[in-house]
Structure 1
Amino acid sequence: MNSGFQLFDIILFAMIAAFLVLRLRSVLGRRTGNERPPPTGIFGRKDAPDSDDGKVVPLPPRADRPPVDVPAPQETLPISPEAGIAQIRAADRGFDPDIFVEGAKSAFEMIVGAFAQGDIHTLRPLLNDSVYTQFSDAIRERETQKQTLETTIVAMKAVDLHEAHMEGPMAFVTVRFVSDQINVVRNAAGAVVDGEPGQTVELIDLWTFARDTRSGDPNWLLVTTATPQ
């Protein structure tokens, strides 16, 4: 009799387990290989799949080569940021200035950190050819002199969309960054040759990002850097 009850229990538990598996699969679904991939650009888009909290700005994977290079902007007549945004939205319906500014902030922090660490592999997909050459040359010069740069972004005090315009299919957006940073350069012996440890300095940077609106690549490249006079 006991063996009969044990057999009944085994069959009952097996039926319950099978029911739970079927329910779980119906809730979670199956991977078919046709699911939409997650967003890959550092600059989010309105038509990108939603993240868990709607605020995550995904970062691009490291790569040895950047997307198709984009040029620096030409001399153009100044227009208001609002008019420039309207131009870009007409060419790229997925452009959202608020999401763009969040992505620009992430890009600024990543680029500043990678430059200090001499990480050219992180810098490569974020910069156009001209800016990458400037940054990589400065890194090589630092390495030749056996110097290291220590950079700490203490606070991001402001990140504002400063200018925006179109040149043909090319969209250009300039962002104004105001940050408190500590920058210290040391020689091979560890002695400070520039800057002062613990001293915070307010820096204002104007960075221009560009993207070919005909491209399916959502990434924008840093094409110019400047400091306001």
Structure 2
Amino acid sequence: MIRGDLDVLKDWCFEAPYNTLAHPIEQAKKAFYTFDSKVLDVSHADIIAGKIMEQGPVLVINFNAQQIMVVRDAKGKVVEGDPDKILRIMYVWALCRDQEEFNPRAAWKLIDISASSSEQWL
């Protein structure tokens, strides 16, 4: 989602989170915008819940990420974000085991996502 790569996103998400995450990416691509965002650090990753649901086993994880979020137009001008501002984003992801995928490295997909951000104080 940081790179705006819809093919990877579609492969790693179930339909509902894919549609939510893909919409702003599709709008940006229609306007010929590109994503120039970076993940600088990921920390404090924890499994906070695990349960069996009708879709299959679900793990809920949370983690912090330090990111720079920038969208540029076709000329390279920043249209959203700030290349000099580091954001601290707290994520909660729910991952569900895709029962149709036999490869254990590819079987966990995003079923729900929550994020809240704040400016990083250095």
TM-score, scaled to structure 2: 0.79
Aligned 8 A contact 1:169 1:214 in 2: no
C-alpha spacing 1:215/1:135, structure 2 compared with 1 (3 Å): closer
Match in the other structure for 1:159:
45
Match in the other structure for 1:223:
111
C-alpha spacing 1:193/1:213, structure 2 compared with 1 (3 Å): closer
Match in the other structure for 2:21:
135
Aligned 8 A contact 1:160 1:176 in 2: yes
What do the CA deviations read for 1:56-79 (whole angstroms, capped 9, x no partner)?
xxxxxxxxxxxxxxxxxxxxxxxx
Q: 2:94 is matched with which residue: 205, 208, 211?
A: 208
Q: 1:186 is matched with which residue: 54, 69, 72?
A: 72
Q: CA shift at 1:215, angstroms?
A: 6.6
Matched to 1:223, the amino acid is: I
Secondary structure in 2 aligned to 1:139? helix
Secondary structure in 2 aligned to 1:116? coil
C-alpha spacing 1:196/1:164, structure 2 compared with 1 (3 Å): same
C-alpha spacing 1:150/1:213, structure 2 compared with 1 (3 Å): same
Identity among equivalent pairs (%): 22
Aligned 8 A contact 1:154 1:181 in 2: yes
Structure 1 unaligned segments of length 5 or more: list them.
Answer: 1-114
Q: CA shift at 1:159, angstroms?
A: 0.9
Q: CA shift at 1:151, angstroms?
A: 1.4
Matched to 1:224, the amino acid is: D
Aligned 8 A contact 2:59 2:95 in 1: yes
Runs of 4+ in 1 over 6 A off after TM superposition: none
What do the CA deviations read for 1:129-151 (whole angstroms, capped 9, x no partner)?
11222233222101112222211
Greater strand share, 1 or 2? Answer: 2
Whole-Å separation in 2 of the counterparts to 1:138 and 1:161: 28
Match in the other structure for 2:120:
none
Q: CA shift at 1:182, angstroms?
A: 0.7
Match in the other structure for 1:50:
none
What do the CA deviations read for 1:71-125 (whole angstroms, capped 9, x no partner)?
xxxxxxxxxxxxxxxxxxxxxxxxxxxxxxxxxxxxxxxxxxxx23332222222
Match in the other structure for 1:105:
none
Considering Cα pairs closer than 8 Å and 6+ residues apart, tell me whether 1 or 2 has the greater RCO.
2
Q: 1:122 is matched with which residue: 8, 13, 29?
A: 8
C-alpha spacing 1:187/1:158, structure 2 compared with 1 (3 Å): same
